[in-house]
Structure formats: C-alpha cells, structure tokens
Chains A and B, each alone.
Chain A
Amino acid sequence: MGAAPASRDVTSYGMGLAVPLALFFLVFFVAPLLQLLWLSLHNDTAALHWGLGQYLHFLTDPFSLSVLGSTLLLGAEVTAVCLVLGFPIAWLYQRVGPRLQTIIILIVLLPLLTSVVVRTFAWIVILGRQGIINATLQSLGIINTPLKLLYTQFGVVIALAQVQMPLMTLPLITALSRIDSNLDDASCSLGAGSWRTFFKIVLPLSLPGVIAGCTLTYAAAITAFITQSLIGGGQMLFMPMYLYQQASTLQNWPFASAISIIFLLAVLAVVSVFTTLGRMSRGYGGA
C-alpha cells in the first residue's frame, strides 16, 4: 500500500479543519448536556442535594410514563405513515421523465420552504370543526355533525406526517436511485412479477434509505414541539410540551432535566434499534 502515508497526511489535514466545529459543539452542545445531566441528579429545585429522586419520580409515575409511551407511539405512527406514503413517491421519481422528476422534487421540498408554524396553521384550517374537511363532508351530506379531527391523535399524526415527509422521501429517492435499473430487468427476465421484484430486490436494496428516512422522521416527529402543541392542543400531551411545562411553568428544572435525559435515552434506544435492523438487513432477502 504505497498510498497509505499520503492518505494519512490527508486525513490529519482534514481533522484540523474540523476543529472549529468541534469546539462549537463542545461549548454549545456537550457542555449544556453535561450541565443538564448534573442538574437532573439533584432531588430539590435549588439543586443542592444530590440523588436519583427525579428519575425515580418519573419512572414510578404512571402519568409521566404514559406521556413517554404516547410520544414514542406517535413517532412510530408518523414514521409508518411517512414510509407508506413516501415510498411510492420515491419509487415513482425513479421511473418518470426529467420534467416530472423536477415537479416531484419541488412538491417534496415545498414543505421545507415554508415555516413549520405556517404549515401547522394550514392544518388547523383543514382539520378544524368548520375546516375544509368537515365543511366539504357536511355539504355533501355524508356527515351531519362535524368530525373531531383537530386535537386528536389522528390529526397530530397526519399533520406531522406532512410536515416531516421530506425527511423520509429524500433518503428514499437517494437509495432507490442507487439501485441498478438492470436489476429490475434481470428479475423480470428471470420470470419474477413486479411484486416479487419489489419485495425481493427493490425493497431490500433500498433498506439503507428506509432506515435513514425512518430515523430522521422518527426523531423529528417526537420532538416537533410546535406541531404537536398546536394540533394536539391542550388535550394531547407529549414529551416536548411536558418538558416545557416542567421547566418554564413549574420552574422544576431538575425534573425537566431528568425528563430530557430519559427522553434522549429513549430516542437513542429506538434509533439504535433502527440501526441494528439496518445491519441485519445485509443478510435480508434469503429466499
């Protein structure tokens, strides 16, 4: 390997360039995180007495646990909706002409170009009692009384799915475009129908994109404070709002810190499940 010393030089050069960002992370991410951890290990709001009381409180309190559970469930539901709706779009993108591709990309990216607040308010207009859906269904005579869509789990999932859709679609488009189109033809010429080709070839080979998309969508959905709060209203409580209440309204900073740490660990656990699935998927496809 004659090139090895040269490539070592190149990487050390690159490390030097990363120093500013590393310092930035150290000061503005790692340090606050450590402070958060330090704070969470105190039993009183003044942070004078060390102890695991905050964690014990959270883990023995059915209400807190139900908030954590419903938040993780919300993430799973949003991710599932995004995957089911996003995959066909990404698949279609690979099979249309360049002009349609531009249109699809534009539609996919459009949500990213408007503020989350604007998008969320649009959903309030659509889902409200006098909103577009209820007005349309009533004028068609399908329903007599307005459906309750806003301030429901369903409403939050739908709104979040739309808001987070690009995070799913973009990795999927990338993953699908990496698949050699000859593989489709090869599968077909070997006698496989389109469903077999999809489940045996396209889906397994797009798994890296599926996992990346799911991880991003999941992480974004469970931490989406604005959309969760506005569409969920007062009736639905998820971790970000719970945390906000404890920190801002009740000034219980140690408990809020403990909530953050637990939430962080829960998210990391779910993400590592996705990653493990991804690693296992290398062996996927065994007929």
Chain B
Amino acid sequence: MAEAQGGRSLVVDAVTHRYPSGALAVENINLDIKGGEIIALLGPSGCGKTTLLRIIAGFIAQTQGRIIIGDDIVDTLPPNRRAVGIVFQNYALFPHLSISENVAYGLAARGIDKATRQREAQRLLDLVQLPTMSERLPRQLSGGQQQRVALARALAIKPSILLLDEPFAALDKNLRLDMQIEVKRLQRVSGITTLIVTHDQEEALSMADRVAVLSQGKLEQFGSPSDVYDRPQTLFVNTFVGASNRMPGVVVSADRTAAKVRLDAGAEIIARPASGALTEGGRVTVCIRPEHLQFVGDETGFAGVVGMSLPLGATVVHEVTTADGSGVKISQARIGETRTLESGAAVRLAPLAPSLANAFPTTL
C-alpha cells in the first residue's frame, strides 16, 4: 500500500542496552519492521520503550546489537545524520522561532535556499491544516496546533523513519482522537515508516499495524493488534492490554490446543494454552476478560456473590466474589433494560467460549 512511496524498513537486531550502573534498560530486542508500517511500542513507564526510541534516533548508543534502516547499519551515525524525524512528547518547538522557521529549520540545516525553504514550509503547513499560522510563535498556538507543527517540522526533512514519543499524552481526550486520525492520515499520505511510543493501549491498538509490547526491558509480544488482544502470548500481555480477570487453577488434562483446568473458584473450564503446552497437574493462571464472561442459569461455571454493580454507560460492570474469595469482574452490554443485580445476589459465571480463556503456567 504505502510502501510504494518509499517508506524504509527498520530492523532492530538483538539490541541490548545497559545503563552505566549495570542495570538493563532493554534486553535482546528484535523487531523487523517493514517499510510504511505503523508500529506501536507499548508498555508501562520504565519498560524501556523510550530508551529504545532514543537508541533508534541515535541519542543513546546501545551496548549490543544493531539498528538497520533500509540497507544501512546506522549505529555509527550521529542523530543529525540519521534522517530520523522525531515528535517529542512536549513537542519541543523552538520558542523563539516562528512556525514557518520551525518547520524550515531542518531544511536550513541542510543548506537549502530560503525561497525553497519557505515554499516547502508552507506546503507542510497546508498538509497539517495550519496554512495561516506561519508567522506566529509556538506559544500562540494551542496544544493540538503545536503538535501539528511538530509533525510538519519532522516531516520537512523527509525522514526515513518517523518516531513519535508519547505524542498524544498531553492532549485532552477529544483532541487526542482528532490528532490520532490526523497522524494516521499523514502517515498514509507520506508512507513513512512510523514508530509510536505509548503507554496507552487503546492508542496502540487503534493506530498501529503491529504492536510491540514491552515489559521490564524485554519484548513480550510483537504482533497485530488482534493478535495481541485476542491471542496474548504472555500473562503480562493478557493483563496489560485490555482488562482481564486472573483466576488460579490446576491443569486436569491438556493437549496443544486446549486444556481442562480446575479453577480454585470451583469449576472446570476449557482454556487455551497461550504459551505452549501445559503439564497435567501444574498450576496455571487463567485469564478471562470481563466482557468474555456471562451469567449462566444452569450448574455449569463457577459460583459467586455480586458485590457491586457499576453502570458505565454502554456497559455495566459487576464485581463478583468467588468461592475462593477472589474478585472477578464481568462486563455486560447494556441492551434495553439490563437486569440490575442486587448486592449479595448469588450468581454463576462461565466464559462465553473456551477459546476466550487463556491459561498461563504459574511461575513461582
């Protein structure tokens, strides 16, 4: 699709970075990113995603491994020779330069003549839909407008890779959605391989072609948004991406595609072994999302007592305490008059389908 316009591939090859103190910031990260893809680096703060971004940009020299952009190993290139465009979390616009000077800054650094620079800056400001702002100073613009300028400035140098560091974190919710759509539109137009660093899972899932989930410096999973959401490979991914109930249990029987698990909460259910085969008799943690649970009228599933019901608009979330004392959340779509449950009511819960429960071996 957009590859025709020359987005370059990006390979992160076995990159490890160690702080001077000896602590690992990122450990053996491998990413193979095709030209024109949008990739999200998703993880909680401190997971190493920003370090990885700064390694790709060239601000940090990694301890081991290689960064390959297109056909070039760029490890020895300083940031100003890598042609990597960055949009910073706080936009980092030059406060003393006008908007068009900000956008033209990278072109001036490349020795392009003033007339061309101005023409190009205006073209980019048109592209980000700020055609009349060129003479203003950054502080005279709103947050969303500043971000558009930051994007235009990064795109002006025709970067081979575009890096966005928590780009929407400072915007309020409505504006965030507009800007996410805007960034996706610009990315489709320009075809630039794009990396978005974010801790916001919705942002990662909605914007990216593929999502790389990081935790404590390690790559947990790298796959399409539906892979990451529906087929999480690790317990971390299952609980970090989307909400999930964690229910401990013991494997009764297992093959490669399905396992029968006896939950501590008191029911036998069929779950999907998410990270390889499970051993019979081994302890597992079963993850079931609140929206994948249902109330059942018969004797299947596990029993519980309703604690609290929270009507969240489109859905209603009930908190249920199970027989082993752990709390489970169940989310129901609000269709017509959804029955409200009294606190203390006895109910039985079961997963909607076996494939919607994921079992992970419990590591002690």
A interface residues with partner B (beta carbon < 8 Å): 180, 182-183, 185-193, 196, 200-201, 204-205, 282, 284-287
Mark B residues whose CB is within 8 Å of A. Answer: 57-59, 78-86, 88, 90, 92-98, 101, 104-106, 108-110, 114, 117, 153-154, 156-157
Decide: A183 and B109 in contact? CB cutoff 8 A.
no
Separation in Å of the A208 CB from the closest CB of chain B?
11
Q: Which residues of B contact A191 (CB under 8 A)?
A: 80-81, 83, 106, 109-110, 157
Q: Report yes or no: A285 in contact with B101, Cβ–Cβ below 8 A.
A: yes
Is A186 within 8 A of B83, CB to CB? no
Which residues of the partner chain B approach A286 to less than 8 Å between Cβ atoms? 97-98, 101
Rounded to whole angstroms, the CA-CA distance of A204 and B58 in the bound complex is: 25
* Residues of chain B contacted by A180 (CB below 8 angstroms): 90, 92
A285 and B79 in contact (CB under 8 A), knowing A186-B88, A190-B153? no
The docked-state distance in angstroms from the alpha carbon of A284 to that of B97 is 8
Residue contact A186 to B97, C-beta cutoff 8 Å:
no
Q: Are B59 and A185 in contact (CB under 8 A)?
A: yes
CA distance A205 to B90 in the complex (A): 17
Determine whether the beta carbon of B104 is less than 8 Å from that of A287: yes
Check B96 against A186 for contact (C-beta < 8 Å).
Answer: no
Q: Which 9 pairs between the two chains have the least Cβ-Cβ distance?
A: A190-B106, A182-B92, A192-B109, A186-B92, A191-B109, A188-B79, A189-B86, A287-B108, A182-B88
> Nearest CB to that of A193 among chain B residues?
B80
- Residues from chain A with a CB closer than 8 A to the CB of B157 are 190-191
Query: Is A201 a contact partner of B94 (Cβ separation < 8 A)?
Result: yes
Total A-B pairs, Cβ < 8 A: 80
Q: Please name 14 pairs of A and B residues whose Cβ atoms are closer than 8 Å in the assembled complex, sorted by A.
A: A180-B92, A186-B86, A188-B59, A190-B156, A191-B83, A191-B106, A191-B157, A196-B109, A200-B94, A205-B95, A285-B94, A285-B101, A286-B97, A287-B104
What distance in Å separates the Cβ of B84 from its nearest Cβ neighbour in chain A? 6
A248 to B58, CA, bound (A): 66
What distance in Å separates the Cβ of B109 from its nearest Cβ neighbour in chain A?
Answer: 4
Determine which residue in B81, B105, B114 has the highest number of CB atoms from chain A within 10 A of its CB, and name it: B105
Given A190-B157, A286-B98, 19 further pairs, Cβ under 8 A: A182-B88, A185-B88, A185-B92, A186-B93, A186-B94, A186-B153, A187-B94, A187-B105, A188-B80, A189-B154, A190-B85, A190-B106, A191-B109, A191-B157, A192-B80, A192-B105, A196-B109, A201-B94, A287-B101
Report A173 CB to chain B, min CB distance, Å.
19
In the assembled complex, the CB of A192 is this many whole angstroms from the nearest CB of chain B, namely 4
**Cα–Cα distance between A204 and B114 once the two chains are bound (Å):** 20
Residues of A within 8 A of B97 (CB): 285-287
Task: Name B103's closest neighbour in chain A (CB-CB).
Answer: A190
- In the assembled complex, the Cα of A222 lies from the Cα of B117 at a distance in Å of 46
A204 to B85, CA, bound (A): 23
Cα distance, A206 to B105, chains bound together (Å): 19
Q: Which of A187, A190, A282, A284 counts the most chain B CB atoms within 10 A?
A: A190
CB-based contact B80/A189 at 8 Å:
yes
Residue of B nearest to A190 (CB): B106
Residues of A within 8 A of B92 (CB): 180, 182-183, 185-186
Q: Which residues of B contact A188 (CB under 8 A)?
A: 59, 78-80
Chain A residues, CB < 8 A from B106? 190-192
A189 to B105, CA, bound (A): 11
Residues in A whose Cβ lies below 8 Å from that of B154: 189-190
Specify which of B96, B98, B108 is in contact with A205 (CB 8 Å cutoff). B96
A286 shortest CB reach to chain B, Å: 7
Q: In the complex the two chains form, what is the Cα distance from A91 to B356 in whole Å?
A: 58
CB of B105 within 8 A of CB of A185, answer no
Chain A residues whose C-beta falls within 8 Å of the C-beta of B78 in the assembled complex: 188
Task: Return the chain B residue nearest A185 by Cβ.
Answer: B59
Query: Which B residues lie within 8 Å of A186 (CB)?
Result: 86, 88, 92-94, 153
Choose among B81, B93, B94, B104 the residue with the greatest number of A CB atoms under 10 Å from its CB.
B94
Pick the contact of A189: B85, B95, B104 (CB < 8 A).
B85
Q: Is the CB of A204 within 8 A of B96?
A: yes
Q: A182 with B90: in contact, given A188-B80, A191-B109 (CB under 8 Å)?
A: yes
A200 CB contacts on chain B under 8 angstroms: 94, 105
Which residues of A are found within 8 Å of B90, using beta-carbon distances?
180, 182
CB-CB under 8 A from A284, the residues of chain B are 96
Chain B nearest Cβ from A16, distance in angstroms: 34
Partner of A285 from B85, B96, B110 at Cβ < 8 Å: B96
Which chain B residues border A192 with CB–CB below 8 Å?
Answer: 80, 105-106, 109
A185-B59, A185-B86, A286-B101 known; A190+B109 contact, CB < 8 A: yes
Are A189 and B96 closer than 8 Å at their CB atoms?
Answer: no
Which residues of A have CB within 8 Å of B84? 189
Complex: A205 Cα to B59 Cα, angstroms: 22
**Within the assembled complex, what's the spacing in Å between the Cα atoms of A190 and B124?**
15
Chain A residues with CB under 8 A of B95: 205
CB closest residue in chain A, given B93:
A186
Q: A183-B92, A188-B80, A205-B96 given as contacts; is B105 within 8 A of A287 (CB)?
A: yes
Closest to A180 in B: B92
Complex Cα gap A187–B153 (Å): 10
By beta carbon, the residue of chain A nearest B108 is A287
- A187 — which chain B residues lie within 8 A by C-beta? 94, 105, 109
